[in-house]
Amino acid sequence: MTEAVFYFLGACAIVTAALCVLSRSPMAAVLWLVGTMLSLAGIYVLLNAEFVAAIQVLVYAGAVMVLFLFVIMLLNLGSAKSDLRGPSSVAAAVVIAGLLLVELAALWNYSPERLAAEVAQSPAMSDPASIFTAGELARQETAARGVIGGVAAPLFQTYLVPFEITSILLLAAIVGAVVLAKRRI
Amino acid sequence: MTPEMKGFLLLSSIKMLIVFTIIMVGVALLTLMERKVSAWMQNRRGPNRVGWAGLLQPAADGLKNILKEETFPALANRNLFLVAPALSFIPALMLSAVIPFAAPLPVDFDFTLGPLGRFVHHGAMPMVVADLPVGFLFVLAVSSMGVYGIALAGWSSNSKYALLGGLRASAQMISYEVAMGLSLIPVLLMSGNASFSSIVAAQQAGLWYVLPLFLSFFIFLISGFAETNRLPFDLPEAESELIAGYHTEYSAMKFSFFFIAEYANVVTVCAMVTTLFFGGWDIPFTDWDRSGSLLATLATWLMFFLKVLFWIFFVMWIRWTLPRFRYDQLMTLGWKVLMPLALAYIMVVCVAIYVIERMLGIVEPRPAALALFGVNLVVGLLVFGVLDSGIFIKGSGRRARVPERRVESARVVG
């Protein structure tokens, strides 16, 4: 049952992502991308990560993509002819697609257990069991700390300093964007 | 499929059917209520010809909208134009699935229904279609999807008024979503859980959150008005500037869908206010409502209904009382007043909860909530007495001062 839902959502994600790349109209592309985001959110729910799913919809589908839509509406972009049709663009596309294909082939034999084992061998800052929780472990985590607590504990305890550094980086990026976009503040 | 699963599916389908029916009939009656309330406030009678006291007016309106001609603007993007009403309608309906509307009812059955097999259910049935562990995050996420319907309606109509309405709607809804999300963080801090049923349970153990988290309630209510595009924030469809905003080009049932979505959103926001800040289905001053009987479930359902009805009336009351904001006032209020206020309030609540629970050692829910209520009295006085006095936040009613020079030149001419 779960597997059938997973394959359905995965197919939705792939089809909408392909349609996003292939559609000429920027408006249609944005809407197909929203479809991809929603399918991904569904897959997160299947992984017992309801909180991440909700945030995915709230932030990506609900805020970031609306901003995309907003800009497209504001600039009134039509279905412009693509200027990525030259031989050099095709060559770049083939190279990137080939690299991604190789990466996919390398991941073919990967399993959650192998990933957890590799993390356990590398010098990690926290217990790998708390990062790659699958099945029963994830359910125990949810029962003990709630859906949000499972995300909050590593974020605000184990990885507090990296988290704060990231937030400062993001703040710098926001300030930089405002300064670049607006000469007179 | 196990018999338990079948029993769960059966109950869920029944609950879905009931909630869907209540929302659709309720929305139809709300259109009548809006007209009656506005008439009452303006000393008129309102619709009173169709049916007894105009009760069949919504049915007549529905019939009219179904029979009317469907029009398409010549240069509209036909697919998106068709999809947009559905896109604003679906999220509005989805939201009603997660709000608990009555006390859990113990349901026990075990029967076999021909080829469908055995159905089993034992224990309390929560009176909510889906009691999600992420609770109100789901509500925020889905309501943020509602903006697509409006923005696409504005864009695909290929009309300047509709486009302006769609642009305004998307800007406004993104802006107020921020304040709305931030205003709910103190609720999370108090209850320690995001699911609606545990928030209701936490309020039953302590106090209704409107007392210990008053400012959150205030910010949430204002953002709720803005999110549903109701007056005084109905800039997206401001009729004096934009004809009808994003649904200018829509007619017949497609227009109706936007209308239904708006009212369904109003119902959801009112239900959210009730559940998050007014105890949900809780009947105050008694523990009988949790005893788990059919009577208790019906009584709590009635209580929930009355609370939601009051807030719906409040929304209509505001609509016919306050004039519309100017666009810059709207943005100033959202970004420069509500958002910093919500952020500061989060800090205040964090510190207050830490002091009350860790330093003073008050861990019982009710005394802790009372202590936080005391903190809120001070914060409320500071915000509404000092911040709002016109020194820090310029009131919208205040006139810009006329420059001295212009007055002098006028005097010379005179």
CA distance A72 to B163: 12
Nearest-CA distance B229 → chain A (Å): 17
Buried b (16+ CB within 10 A) or exposed e, A141-172: bbeeebbbebbebbeeebbeeeeeeeeeeeee
pLDDT, average across residues B237-260: 80
CB contact under 8 A, A58 and B140: yes
Per-residue confidence (pLDDT) for residue A16, from 0 to 100: 93
pLDDT, average across residues B178-202: 85
CA distance B93 to B267: 10
Nearest-CA distance B186 → chain A (Å): 15
Q: Which residues contact A19 (CB under 8 A, 6 or more apart)?
A: A28, A32, A35
Q: Does B136 touch chain A (CB under 8 A)?
A: no
Q: Where is average pLDDT lowest: A119-133, B10-24, B109-123?
A: A119-133
Per-residue confidence (pLDDT) for residue A17, from 0 to 100: 92
CB contact under 8 A, B141 and A74: no
Per-residue confidence (pLDDT) for residue B414, from 0 to 100: 43
pLDDT, average across residues B183-204: 84
Instruction: Give, rounded to a whole angstrom, the gap between the first and last alpha carbons of chain B.
Output: 91
Instruction: Give, rounded to a whole angstrom, the gap between the first and last alpha carbons of chain A.
Output: 56
pTM, two decimals, is 0.82
Q: Which residues contact B368 (CB under 8 A, 6 or more apart)?
A: B206, B353, B356, B357, B362
CA distance B348 to B342: 10
Per-residue confidence (pLDDT) for residue A39, from 0 to 100: 92
Per-residue confidence (pLDDT) for residue B413, from 0 to 100: 46
Measured between beta carbons, the chain A residues lying within 8 angstroms of B194 are 146-148
pLDDT digit string (tens) for B120-171?
777 777 888 888 878 778 888 888 888 888 888 888 888 888 888 888 888 8
Most confident of A10-19, B8-17, B51-60, B366-375: A10-19
Per-residue confidence (pLDDT) for residue A54, from 0 to 100: 87
CB contact under 8 A, A57 and B142: yes
- Percent of residues, chain B, with pLDDT higher than 70: 93
Nearest-CA distance B134 → chain A (Å): 6
pLDDT, average across residues B47-55: 83
Q: How many CB atoms lie within 10 A of CB B42?
A: 9
CB contact under 8 A, B170 and A147: no
CB contact under 8 A, A63 and B134: no
CB contact under 8 A, A148 and B194: yes
Nearest-CA distance B411 → chain A (Å): 37
Token pair belonging to B78: 């036909």
Structural domains in chain A plus CATH codes: 1-80 (1.20.120.1200), 126-185 (no CATH)
Q: Could you say which residues of chain A have pLDDT below 50?
A: 125, 133
Confidence of residue B52 (pLDDT cuts 50, 70, 90): confident
Average pLDDT, chain B: 82
Q: Residue ranges of the domains in chain B?
A: 3-393
Q: Which residue has the higher pLDDT, B390 or B410?
A: B390
Q: Does B154 touch chain A (CB under 8 A)?
A: yes
